Structure 1
Amino acid sequence: MENVPRETLLENPSIEGFSGIKKLELKDYFLTGEKFELYEDSKTKVLYTLPQPIQNLGKYYESKNYISHTDGKKSLFERFYQIAKHINLNEKLKLMNKIASGKTILDYGCGVGDYLEFMQKNGYNVLGMEPNESARKIAQSKIGEQKVVSTELNEINQKFDVITLWHVLEHIPNLNEIIEQLKNHLTENGTLVIAVPNHKSYDAEYYGQYWAAYDVPRHLWHFSADSMHKLFNNFGMKIETINPMKLDSFYVSLLSEKYKGNKLGFLNAIRVGIQSNVKAKKTGEYSSLIYTIKVKK
């Protein structure tokens, strides 16, 4: 791993429910240039960002270049993101058709609503939750004003056959509280579907502190398969399946090359993306992983 300091055992800072040792020193390459640190929780092995600027977290999203809140198609990254998004929609539909016990879906952190629009067109009853106003308005224009809300999860009385979080869990400040609420909003045989970056992937190892999927401080938490198992076990839940998001290694590598200042890093990003997926065929450590999770019986 490039430019990564040795882990430090001198400090044991904690936040609610988590306490660990220092693992990495990082920087917000996307927006502010501010410095942050990652710590590993001693129990779950989840990595967490410090400091966590909870009171003014919104300012770190205030950029027209924050892709999940726009439908932009101008830059190379935006075009690649849109292409990958459409490919992933079909893969997500296949997964939903396979695991869903019914037709109701809640997408927690739905962004601009492409996934919900696609699922609605394919016969599902959908509801989206999105705190960002501009993204929420775009989503409402696609699937209906009443179907995308900014309401708190504990204010929704309905239960759902499937609750999805597509690259959302890593953004949630009150992690333990929300996981408990998500669990309580599942139907009896409901499934929680969570996609998150995997910091044990080859592309994460290769780019080190420049790995774009660390994305501090917008990403408050950082997961691996091992830490996801440990975390959800604490809530009486178990991971049923783990599926790869193979395109993520290419997108993340492109952005990582940009953060490293490599203006001509496109070819290297493609190489790293391919190598990451090839290695993951043996290890399972893809750049991003989709977890299907159920309550233990």
Structure 2
Amino acid sequence: MNDSTVAVFYIARGIDAGLNSAKEFVEAWSRHPPEHAHQLYFLAKGWKSELQHQKLVQLAQSCDAKLLDLPDTGFDFGAYFRALPQIEEKWVCLMNSYAKPNTPGWLRLLSQSARTTGNGIAGATGSWQSLGWSPLKQGSISATAATALSNIINCANWKKFQSFPNPHLRSNGLVIEKCLLEQFAKNSKFPKTKNEAFQLESGINGLSMFALDNHCKLVICGADGKEYPIEKWPFSVTFRSHEQQNLLVTDNRTHEYIASSKNRRRKLADLAWGRNNVRMIRESPKNTTPFLHNTRRTKCPACDMYCADPFLNSRDYNRQISTHTFDYWKCSECEMVFIDPIPEDISKFYSGGYQEIPDNLLSLERMAKKEAYRLSPLLRHKEHGDILEIGPWIGIFSLNAKRRGFRVSAIERDPHVCRFLRQVVEINATETDDVVGELQNDNKKYDAIILWHSLEHLAKPWIVIQQASHRLKVNGILIIGIPNITSTQAELLGAKWLHLDAPRHLYFWSPRGLRKLGMKNGLSVLELHTRDRLSRVLERNAWQHRIQGIIGNRFTRIFLSLIAPPLLSLFFLKNGGAGITVVFRNDGPADPTERKCDAP
């Protein structure tokens, strides 16, 4: 056995699939040999008939498979988790009860994709489908009472699944490094319900998300031998695309699609890829794979690659300092949304600031008392120590932290505010707009660094987070709050969303993207919220702002501003609130590019 040998886990379940499915698998296995070093394992579960079980044993022997008898609990992932300690191979291929190899050399192609790119994982199929509440842009939702009822029924899944698009590799025909799967099993809850099993495949803490957090890339490998990154999955002609003629491995879901009517196929494809992409797939030649070659792209400043697509265009609707249109882009690699180009004289758009500088400390204390709840993420992890707030403006958070016994320093670009912070709030405030340079030159270590809705204003915020992680003590925390560009409110209000605030807000991330950014810099995630108190306040303010912009009658406007926001927030919960709050921790020196399974 060499290091590239793959343990192929085939779920042989007696209750649902039965002996016929196992026979069909073996026949397909014989017709389409793997052409790669392997050991086939039958994971036998749910065989109540001794006679049927004996036939399964004979079937396994006919293809030189080892048979592992397992309890019939935990669904497919439970079987995979239980089988892992019983094998010696360093790579694993997952095959469910209905799996059938579909082309010769299928395992060779999957193994090459997982190994040669250093991914550690590759799949025969993937999907963007979300089992949570799919957003309007998926295109498969109609405004009907039945849909609304369905969304309410699915409310339990809102926080467990990424909203559409929710890219994940399907756990059938999936090759993965054994150590990566072992670490995932160690960190995961053993599934007891079907929903928990679905979460392991496509949830926010599922296998694909875990692989991304461990610096793997999610790729689909087709029968044509090509690798397809996430943005090209809908056009890979594999899962629910054309006649699926590029599939390496089939299963009951791919068979369902082929056997469906034209109308049913369209609905299934809508769920997997979204209506707009399905329309593009239908209009493309069926024997080719369109790669969005007509899509205008720009360079992502964080990734330094041309991997960013147009996101939206907006103007300065909040302050109306300019009528210029600003372009926002979204990177397909790091999921950052950014403005490009950045206005040359960005300072003029800050005229007047966000809040007036108070006349005295008493006025600031009145304001700070109303926002004392913002200390909660800090106080849950730290009781005292040295903290640095980047972008405090008039110092509301800094004052509250100082009152609780923290030693507070600050970095702020506005000279008038810096003077106020030093003379009135009496904290050490450094005046600079070069936050990266200041962090690089600062040798002090902090118990906490705070970026409370300031990260989106900073130049090169990905480097700010990198440098901030270097300025944290061991077990020090980094608290970040930013607007949630993936919230339902942001999607609905688009260019006129209050918290887009073009062009002052330069950068945004999804919750997943922000989490990946922190982990890339060696930080672990302690908390991540999109429905905390500040998020709800931001959401209410944005609803009120929009209502006041479209309702002319003064009394109607006041009435709706009071009544509508809580109702709208309750209905549009699916992608979280208008803000993201995340708490990272510095667990100590580590190589941020090292996958967990490579650690000693």
TM-score tier, shorter chain, comes to 0.7 to 0.9
SS in 1 for 2:380: helix
Aligned partner of 2:416 among 134, 139, 160: 134
| Alpha-carbon distance in 2 for matches of 1:86, 1:37 | 38
| Alpha-carbon distance in 2 for matches of 1:272, 1:230 | 35
SS in 2 for 1:99: coil
Q: Specify the alignment match of 2:459 in structure 1.
A: 173
Q: Specify the alignment match of 2:308 in structure 1.
A: 20
8 Å contact from structure 2 (residues 377, 479) kept in 1: no
Structure 1, gaps ≥5 residues long: 73-81
Residues 227-272 of structure 1, C-alpha deviation per residue, up to 9 Å, x if partnerless? 2122223222232212322211122233344555857444444455
Q: Does 1:292 align with 2:292?
A: no
Structure 2, gaps ≥5 residues long: 1-135, 138-275, 278-291, 360-364, 433-437, 589-600
Residues 9-31 of structure 1, C-alpha deviation per residue, up to 9 Å, x if partnerless? 62111142243100111111122
Judged with a 3 Å threshold, the aligned counterparts in structure 2 of structure 1 residues 288 and 272 are, in CA distance, closer, same or farther, namely farther
8 Å contact from structure 2 (residues 390, 449) kept in 1: yes
Q: Specify the alignment match of 1:46 in structure 2.
A: 336
Aligned partner of 1:32 among 322, 342, 356: 322
Aligned residue pairs, count: 279
Deviation at 1:168, TM superposition (A): 0.5
Q: Specify the alignment match of 2:523 in structure 1.
A: 237
Q: Specify the alignment match of 2:392 in structure 1.
A: 110
Residues 54-73 of structure 1, C-alpha deviation per residue, up to 9 Å, x if partnerless? x42211112x2x3246449x
Q: Does 1:201 align with 2:487?
A: yes
Aligned partner of 1:226 among 503, 512, 521: 512
| Alpha-carbon distance in 2 for matches of 1:16, 1:202 | 26
| Alpha-carbon distance in 1 for matches of 2:368, 2:560 | 22
Aligned partner of 2:441 among 148, 155, 160: 155
Residues 52-92 of structure 1, C-alpha deviation per residue, up to 9 Å, x if partnerless? 12x42211112x2x3246449xxxxxxxxx98864332x12
Q: Specify the alignment match of 1:61 in structure 2.
A: 350
| Alpha-carbon distance in 1 for matches of 2:367, 2:559 | 18
| Alpha-carbon distance in 2 for matches of 1:205, 1:266 | 24
8 Å contact from structure 1 (residues 101, 189) kept in 2: no
8 Å contact from structure 1 (residues 238, 295) kept in 2: yes
| Structure with the greater alpha carbon radius of gyration | 2
8 Å contact from structure 1 (residues 203, 211) kept in 2: yes
- Which deviates more from structure 2 when the two are superposed, residues 129-138 or residues 96-105? 96-105
TM-score (norm 1): 0.83
8 Å contact from structure 1 (residues 276, 286) kept in 2: no
Judged with a 3 Å threshold, the aligned counterparts in structure 2 of structure 1 residues 131 and 14 are, in CA distance, closer, same or farther, namely same
Judged with a 3 Å threshold, the aligned counterparts in structure 2 of structure 1 residues 261 and 154 are, in CA distance, closer, same or farther, namely farther
Q: Specify the alignment match of 2:544 in structure 1.
A: 254
Deviation at 1:108, TM superposition (A): 0.6
- Percent of counterpart pairs with the same letter? 19
8 Å contact from structure 1 (residues 250, 273) kept in 2: yes
8 Å contact from structure 1 (residues 203, 273) kept in 2: no
8 Å contact from structure 2 (residues 384, 405) kept in 1: no
Deviation at 1:51, TM superposition (A): 1.6
Deviation at 1:203, TM superposition (A): 2.4
Aligned partner of 2:295 among 4, 10, 14: 10
| Alpha-carbon distance in 1 for matches of 2:384, 2:404 | 13
| Alpha-carbon distance in 2 for matches of 1:286, 1:86 | 23
Judged with a 3 Å threshold, the aligned counterparts in structure 2 of structure 1 residues 154 and 202 are, in CA distance, closer, same or farther, namely same
SS in 1 for 2:582: strand
Judged with a 3 Å threshold, the aligned counterparts in structure 2 of structure 1 residues 279 and 157 are, in CA distance, closer, same or farther, namely farther
